[in-house]
Amino acid sequence: MSVVQAIVLAIIEGITEFLPVSSTGHMIIGSSVMGIASDPFVKTFTVAIQLGAIGAVVVLYWKRFWQSFKFYITLAIAFIPAAVVGLLLNDAIDALLDRVDVVGWMLIAGGIVLLFVDRYFAATAESGSSAVSFPRALKIGLFQCISLVPGISRSAATIIGGLSVGLNRRTAAEFSFFLAVPTMLAATGYKLLKFYMNGGALGREEITLLIIGNVAAFLVAMAAIKFFIGFLTRNGFRIFGYYRIIIGIIILGLYYFGAQIEVL
């Protein structure tokens, strides 16, 4: 993987990680188009650069992370369900990660759901609660379990989870950002551990690419988060629904017509 390819993947990660469009689907397209999807390091790289993306959350919302100990308890409660399910169903989830068609179909299914989210939650989208209680956090955490299926989108699942428990759109989106921090830290740690256990090693070149990728993902994610909050508050989810359906159709079209699309 070259420096340019690393930056391209980092830009894709930074843009898509916090939008309800599935970063996994976009990484599949990006790495496959560049012909590097099968490289074991690339598979690790695409997860490890999430650290840069979550760094953007911590910087943008640093006051919230120093707010109170209760904040961390709330995040822990929301994080636990996906952590438990991920450990128990690890083999099944890994099998799904090998299915490009699953990613495509889930993108489309999630897109259809997003077309109706604004109408379904119209009553609370603007005037809903801004308080994330422990029971609400647990329910949002259960929604995050759905996103273990590749192509669903962690962001989409958790934001819809937040709306379903009565949060307004802004609060639901921001809590989704906060929940990404422990979730993606755990995913990155697991991926790096698996990389080393399978005989992988990080040399100077790989470490340089990881640094460049994380810096790029951090900068792009900063802009993407600011854009998404403003756009979501004004316009809702419908445009993301249409976009997901289009991307899903592209992936399935390439897959079923024999294009070389490789999973991460």
Give rounded-to-5 percent helix, strand, coil for the chain. 75, 0, 25
pLDDT of residue 264: 52
Separation CA 130–CA 260 (nearest Å)? 45
Dihedral, CA atoms, 205, 208, 213, 214, nearest 10 degrees? 140
Unique residue bearing structure tokens 């379990």: 145
Return phi, psi of residue 183, to 5°.
Answer: -65, -45
Q: What is the pTM of this model?
A: 0.89
Separation CA 52–CA 219 (nearest Å)? 8
Give the C-alpha distances (Å, rounded to integers) separating 194 from 33, 38, 74, 198: 25, 16, 29, 6
pLDDT lower than 70: segments of the chain = 258-264
Amino acid making up residue 239: I
pLDDT of residue 259: 59
Unique residue bearing structure tokens 């120093």: 66
Domain spans of the chain, in order of start: 3-256
Mean pLDDT, all residues of the chain: 89
Q: Which residues of 236-263 are buried (b: 16+ CB within 10 A; e: fewer)?
A: bbeebbebbbebbeebbebbeeeeebbb
pLDDT of residue 193: 82
pLDDT of residue 146: 94
Separation CA 228–CA 220 (nearest Å)? 12
pLDDT of residue 261: 58
Nearest alpha carbon to residue 137 among 176, 170, 110, 168: 176
